[in-house]
Structure 1
Amino acid sequence: MKVVIIGGVAGGATAAARIRRNDERAEIVMIERGPYISFANCGLPYHISGTIEQREQLLVTSEPAFEARYRVDVRSRTEAIAIDRQAKLVRLRDLNTGDEYDESYDKLLLSPGAEPVRPKLPGIDSPRVFGLRNIPDLDRIMGHLEQHSPRRAVVIGGGFIGIEVAENLHEKGIFTTLVEGADQILLPLDYEMAAIVHSHMKDKNVELYLSDKVERFEDKDDHTVVYLGSGRRLQADMVVLAIGVRPETTLARASGLELGSTGGIKVDSHLQTSDPDIYAVGDAIEVTQFISGRQALIPLAGPANRQGRMAADNIVFGNKQQYRGTQSTSILKAFDLAAATTGLNEKQLIAAEIPFLSCITHSGSHASYYPGAKQISLKLLFSPEGRILGAQAVGADGADKRIDVISTAIHGNLNVEDLAELELAYAPPFSSAKDPVNIAGYVAINLLNKSHEMIAWRELHARLLAKSSELQLIDVRTAEEYEFGSIATARNFDVNQIREHLDELDRNAPVVVFCQIGLRGYLAYRILKQHGFTQVSNLSGGYKTYSWAVDKQSNPDIFDYEDIKRRAPEVIEAERSGSAVLVAPGGELHTLNAVGLQCPGPIMKTYKAMEALDAGELLEVTVSDPAFGRDIRAWAKKTGNDVLSLKSDKGLIVVLLRKNKAVPVVALPAATRDKLTLVVFSDDLDKVMASMIIANGALAMGKPVSLFFTFWGLDVLRRENAPARDKPMMDRMFSSMLPSGVDHLNSISKMDMHGLGAKMIRKVMHDKGVETPGHLLQSLVDGGAQMIACQMSMDVMGIHQSELIDGVEIGGVAAFLGEASESGTTLFI
């Protein structure tokens, strides 16, 4: 039997070796278009930083070594250009000489892999724009790093490769910017789990742009300008594209093989194509997703290896092995965190119309009393019957172990009750007596048997934005924790004293309780339910998950390219690593080790330690809680102390604080907040631009900002593609005449010239690099500015809340007066 294999690396090389082990007499020919038949493409980014020191370590085997061991006729630098299925011939081209010839086969195995997505954007062929899919790509990047010593890099794409490249460029000492078109990185994770990684990247001093896409590149003498859809321009010494991959199906399509609905090569359970003598494996094929049963493209190395082995068995022994599908288990090193997932996430379950429940827990990687415990955030998704549908884990230590356990449970058709009963290895350095997997099982069981009702952060946030008047929001943490920051409108009843406050609550109105991670919230839930409260729910994942999710996710505008070019190398290194350059800070330095402590331990210990210091003294705090970076900034701002530096390294956060004069831990009086309130009652482009530039400037100076939009100013907040609504005739007339959003404002206050003035001013702004109105508005939303739409004006003009952009609150004159009373400055525009 003669077998021709097209493509090496994971699937093809595995299949070739397996066929030889099965059949010593088989004639095996392996065709590889590239110069290397088997290399560790998953390890390529780690050579950029030097983590993998030698390039040769990435070469799994060489052509001569593979031929010697397996007696395979290996032909690298050879391309398969056509298949004659009737004659069973493959047309090959030697890329070294250009010669073409035919090779016969009895069985053919396709393992062409996937090709990187490289959109046809202006300037994409710049020598400073790179991809990273194979060894030659890596060689080009390493050559550029050696020859040009770049200081700023822009990575396009927030998937696995993009994050790994950004991390390793950062480790190389390069100021790194990541641009992602979606509203989050790492799409296999749900939004609130990705938010943990967003926060960590901020701590790492990585610039992050979300919901923004590249439009073009433009080369200058010594740098390249990256133009984003938002209007931003990023200057870079190098750009790496990591937008994604698509199946390489050119040969299969040309030969008439059937493709699946996803665009991959269609195969049956034996990995056989529509031609019984042709098999296919790896990233190029369409597979069945193990849980949903739907067809999908899942380009992962593990499944490709298994498919190569199984296809080899079926080629030699007949179709006896069946591929059960791909479960989508993966893991990524995201700087100091691991982000792991298995099964389906929320978006995929909704798309597949599979009912599900979920819970989020935050646990230690091992016993908290043993040094070095680090937090694992674990999300479990399951059906109303208890079937495990998916899981996600993010943490600096132990995330891989927990996802592997749950992945095995899914493969073995275990349910959430089985997770609670799993007997897992325990000793203080390795786990806890109740492992995070067990705890996730306990929480899921309580949800299923209705002894615990939970509310997701997104649902609570929506209800708060809608200003549900009857909702009773209760923070059951300590008073000290509550003062450090809480959810707006929440009242504070410590779980230990909540029984004394029951008469202050309405037993028949909805109650949402929350603590830092969920445990104390569960205890409060049980107390309330047993005292006659009928509508109680506990916030899933607690305040920690909520604050991560509602926080500003992007991290824009932290680098100035020209400023970077001027800085001294030692200053660059200090800033890149997240350490401030301290000039004669003065004061005695004290240290505090809070590693392994769970909430509220780190912030409470910091509070007590700072309380004992004298003004001017320094405190260095080391913590393993990944949320501490955000928490300590908020705490320092509230207490009047200074965060001098914040550095994240190997799962630990090290913060340097300076004690200032004693400031009570209470909310600052309104008069000291220096708040800015703007009333926007015009939709003239020039006036709107002025209001948003002023508001963004105030935000940049750290001032709280509120904008009150009334009458024509409401046009600024309108969605561009608002949902259609059935309206009275007068309201429809208003809607047809009003501009559909801030980027469509069509008049200016002077020299309007029937709308021509607005078009002229937009062109001038574009040519001079002025931010677009839409981008300025989004900056206000991302920066936490309070956006209030006047209810009375909405009623008059027939505008419904669903027609406005996300994040807008609805209010009246009282809301405006309340904001104005707290403001040092109020402007009418």
Structure 2
Amino acid sequence: MKICIVGGVAGGASAATRLRRLSEDADIVLFEKGDYISYANCGLPYYIGGAIQEKDALLVTKPDLLRNRFRIDVRTENEVLAIHRAEKELQVKNLRTGEVYTESYDKLILSPGAEPKRPPLPGIDLDGVFTLRTVTDMERIDAYLKGRSASRAVVVGGGFIGVEMAENLQRRGLDVTIVEFADQVVASLDPEMAQILHRHLTEHGVSLRLKTGLAGIAQVDTGLQVELSDGSAIESDLVLLSIGVSPENKLAKEAGLHLGVGNSIAVSASYQTSDPNIYAVGDAIGVTHLVSGKETLVPLAGPANKQGRLAAENALGGHQAAQPVQGSSVLKAFDLTAASTGLNEKQAKALGLSYRKTYIHPQSHASYYPGATPISMKMLFDGNGAILGAQAVGYEGVEKRIDVLATAIRLHGTVYDLEELELCYAPPFSSAKDPVNMLGFTAANILKGDMPVYYAEDIPGLSPEGTTRLDVSTPAEFGMSTIPGYQNIPLDELRGRLSELDPNKPVYVTCRVGLRGYLATRILKQHGFDAYNLSGGMKTYQLARETES
């Protein structure tokens, strides 16, 4: 059997090597229009910033290895121009020689990836305007910076690549501004969680222009002038466009294959396209979201590699079903780590899901062991305790906790399971009650009614006359900051001062991060009060307020 593969990065390279491991007899041809195959495109920003100093470190597998070890016919700089489905042939152009030729196939696997969006705006093709998707893109940016005394950069788009490039361009010595049309960076986070990143980026010298779009780019005597949707302009030496990607569907569309969500290549549960002899994987296809059950786009390397493996098995006659994707992701922004899995609150609302949420702000490890740092965590769950999604931002131990939660979601665990998880504990690494356990405890308390909660967005609707609003922090903490309209009774004085509270009014409690508020709520409830605790306390309230400003 002859199997041709279009695209030699994550999904395509994984498919090619899996095919050979399953069949010594298959004739495997891998086409890649670029110079490189199987490279770590997630590492490209770190080469530009200097953390990765050797380009070869990014080349996971070189063509000669596939040729010699796996006996795969690898053809780099060969672009597939068309698929002739009736003849089961490809039209291919050798970009080095200009020769156009045909190649037959029995089965075809498409892994063309996605292409960076380039809006049709004035100046978008000027010298000094870049996207970053391939090793060649990286080399062009590096050469551009080495060839001139660039000191200013504008990054258009505050997604993963945008934030990573902002950090690495700044480490390269440039003054960096992120321009983002939305009201936050990193769309996988909810706004109040992204606010922690906003603070950190600003503290490290990155300027943020949120709620602002790109209107055009002009060449001026001093470099490039980036014109913005609010009428202002920023002068720059380099502009990086990082406003998302679109599925590369040109070949499939012109071949008459069916398209799906977001103009991606539509595939079946076995990764077959509308042509049973053609499979598709990676960033070019739509996937089913594990939590929502809806078709969506998740352009991540991990799922693409797994899809390539399964498509290879099916092309050889297997019956491996496509696995749903949950979008687990992690980002480094200077000293901070931000990670998420499953649905965020914006997505849950858009889907019309009924959900609850909890916030906690634990330490990364036992607070008595030196070096503990805070982690801010948020989890969504439904009325039965099923975990819908989670987010965390902090300095250490962030991705570890989100990985545990991602596993729990994959295995259909509940918040009650989180309470019982037995996780590794030693003072330098965690606490006896790990933050993941704490998420389970707080969520279970909410569902069982042991800790009725309210949220920062509920506060403007609280009646000043019809409620008691209580801050149980210490007087010193209360003096530094509190929510307008809240009175102070420290937690340790609460039992002796219950007579100061009106038993006919609901009591809305807060503290710094929610723990003392929980204890106060338990005291109040057992003395007959209708009491509610502010989830995440003042820390979450302040983050939410900052998103409004």
TM-score class normalised by the smaller sequence = over 0.9
- Equivalent residues in 2 for 1:205-284 (5 A)? 205-284=205-284
**Greater shift after overlay, 76-85 or 418-427?**
76-85
Give the length in aligned residue pairs: 549
Q: Distance in 1 between matches of 2:192 and 2:502?
A: 31
Shift of 1:501: 3.1
In the alignment, is the contact (CA less than 8 A) between 1:512 and 1:537 conserved in 2? yes
Task: Quote the residue 2:537 is aligned against.
Answer: 542
Q: Distance in 2 between matches of 1:311 and 1:456?
A: 45
TM superposition score normalised by structure 1: 0.65
Shift of 1:205: 2.2
Task: Quote the residue 2:412 is aligned against.
Answer: 413
Task: Quote the residue 2:294 is aligned against.
Answer: 294
Q: Distance in 1 between matches of 2:498 and 2:129?
A: 63
In the alignment, is the contact (CA less than 8 A) between 2:464 and 2:485 conserved in 1? no
**Greater shift after overlay, 431-440 or 149-158?**
149-158
In the alignment, is the contact (CA less than 8 A) between 2:337 and 2:393 conserved in 1? yes
Q: 1:493 aligns with which of 486, 489, 493?
A: 489
Task: Quote the residue 1:722 is aligned against.
Answer: none
In the alignment, is the contact (CA less than 8 A) between 1:2 and 1:28 conserved in 2? yes
- Equivalent residues in 2 for 1:318-337 (5 A)? 318-337=317-336
Q: Is 1:118 aligned to residue 123 of structure 2? A: no
Q: Distance in 2 between matches of 1:322 and 1:547?
A: 45
In the alignment, is the contact (CA less than 8 A) between 1:262 and 1:295 conserved in 2? no
- Equivalent residues in 2 for 1:113-262 (5 A)? 113-262=113-262
Q: Distance in 1 between matches of 2:540 and 2:73?
A: 55
Q: Distance in 2 between matches of 1:433 and 1:417?
A: 17
AA of the residue aligned to 2:331? L
Q: Distance in 2 between matches of 1:508 and 1:264?
A: 58
Q: Distance in 2 between matches of 1:310 and 1:359?
A: 37
Shift of 1:482: 1.1
In the alignment, is the contact (CA less than 8 A) between 1:39 and 1:59 conserved in 2? yes
In the alignment, is the contact (CA less than 8 A) between 2:123 and 2:217 conserved in 1? yes
AA of the residue aligned to 1:141? I
Task: Quote the residue 2:362 is aligned against.
Answer: 363
Find the residue that maps to 1:266 and give its secondary structure.
coil
Deviations 1:52-100 (A, max 9, x none): 0112211112222221111111111111111111111111111122221
Find the residue that maps to 1:192 and give its secondary structure.
helix
AA of the residue aligned to 2:326? Q
Find the residue that maps to 1:75 and give its secondary structure.
strand
**Greater shift after overlay, 280-289 or 449-458?**
449-458
Deviations 1:651-685 (A, max 9, x none): xxxxxxxxxxxxxxxxxxxxxxxxxxxxxxxxxxx
Task: Quote the residue 1:74 is aligned against.
Answer: 74
Task: Quote the residue 1:701 is aligned against.
Answer: none
Task: Quote the residue 2:502 is aligned against.
Answer: 506
- Equivalent residues in 2 for 1:622-701 (5 A)? none
Task: Quote the residue 1:392 is aligned against.
Answer: 391
Shift of 1:125: 1.3
In the alignment, is the contact (CA less than 8 A) between 2:31 and 2:75 conserved in 1? yes
AA of the residue aligned to 1:501? R
Find the residue that maps to 2:66 and give its secondary structure.
helix
- What percent identity do the matched residue pairs reach? 52
Shift of 1:510: 3.1
Q: Distance in 2 between matches of 1:131 and 1:507?
A: 62
Q: Distance in 1 between matches of 2:458 and 2:188?
A: 21
Task: Quote the residue 1:372 is aligned against.
Answer: 371
In the alignment, is the contact (CA less than 8 A) between 1:199 and 1:548 conserved in 2? no
Shift of 1:468: 4.8
Structure 2, unaligned runs of 5 or more:
none
**Greater shift after overlay, 226-235 or 381-390?**
226-235
Find the residue that maps to 2:98 and give its secondary structure.
coil
Q: Distance in 2 between matches of 1:365 and 1:435?
A: 9
Q: 2:513 aligns with which of 517, 527, 536?
A: 517
Q: Distance in 2 between matches of 1:508 and 1:113?
A: 62
- Equivalent residues in 2 for 1:343-358 (5 A)? 343-358=342-357
Q: Is 1:452 aligned to residue 448 of structure 2? A: no
Task: Quote the residue 1:529 is aligned against.
Answer: 525
Q: Distance in 1 between matches of 2:379 and 2:322?
A: 26
Q: Distance in 2 between matches of 1:130 and 1:459?
A: 43
Q: Distance in 1 between matches of 2:453 and 2:200?
A: 27
Deviating above 4 A after TM superposition, structure 1's stretches of 4 or more consecutive aligned residues are none
Q: Distance in 2 between matches of 1:178 and 1:3?
A: 44
AA of the residue aligned to 1:443? T
- Equivalent residues in 2 for 1:467-616 (5 A)? 468-534=464-530, 536-551=531-546
Find the residue that maps to 1:342 and give its secondary structure.
strand
In the alignment, is the contact (CA less than 8 A) between 1:382 and 1:390 conserved in 2? yes
Find the residue that maps to 2:262 and give its secondary structure.
coil
AA of the residue aligned to 1:387? A
Deviations 1:453-482 (A, max 9, x none): 11121222x426xx7543332111111111
In the alignment, is the contact (CA less than 8 A) between 1:507 and 1:533 conserved in 2? yes
AA of the residue aligned to 1:426? Y
AA of the residue aligned to 1:482? F
Which is higher, the Rg of structure 1 or of structure 2? 1
Task: Quote the residue 2:61 is aligned against.
Answer: 61
Shift of 1:518: 0.4
Q: Distance in 2 between matches of 1:52 and 1:261?
A: 36
Shift of 1:320: 1.8
Deviations 1:692-734 (A, max 9, x none): xxxxxxxxxxxxxxxxxxxxxxxxxxxxxxxxxxxxxxxxxxx
TM superposition score normalised by structure 2: 0.98
**Greater shift after overlay, 8-17 or 506-515?**
506-515
Find the residue that maps to 1:91 and give its secondary structure.
strand
- Equivalent residues in 2 for 1:686-765 (5 A)? none
Structure 1, unaligned runs of 5 or more:
554-780, 783-829
Deviations 1:541-560 (A, max 9, x none): 11011112212x5xxxxxxx
Shift of 1:113: 0.1
Q: Distance in 1 between matches of 2:178 and 2:302?
A: 27
Q: Distance in 2 between matches of 1:136 and 1:359?
A: 44
Q: Distance in 1 between matches of 2:109 and 2:261?
A: 21
Greater relative CO, 1 or 2 (CA 8 Å, sep 6+): 2
In the alignment, is the contact (CA less than 8 A) between 2:261 and 2:297 conserved in 1? no
Task: Quote the residue 2:38 is aligned against.
Answer: 38
In the alignment, is the contact (CA less than 8 A) between 2:266 and 2:273 conserved in 1? yes
Shift of 1:274: 0.9
Find the residue that maps to 1:373 and give its secondary structure.
coil
Task: Quote the residue 2:93 is aligned against.
Answer: 93
Deviations 1:197-216 (A, max 9, x none): 11111221211111110101
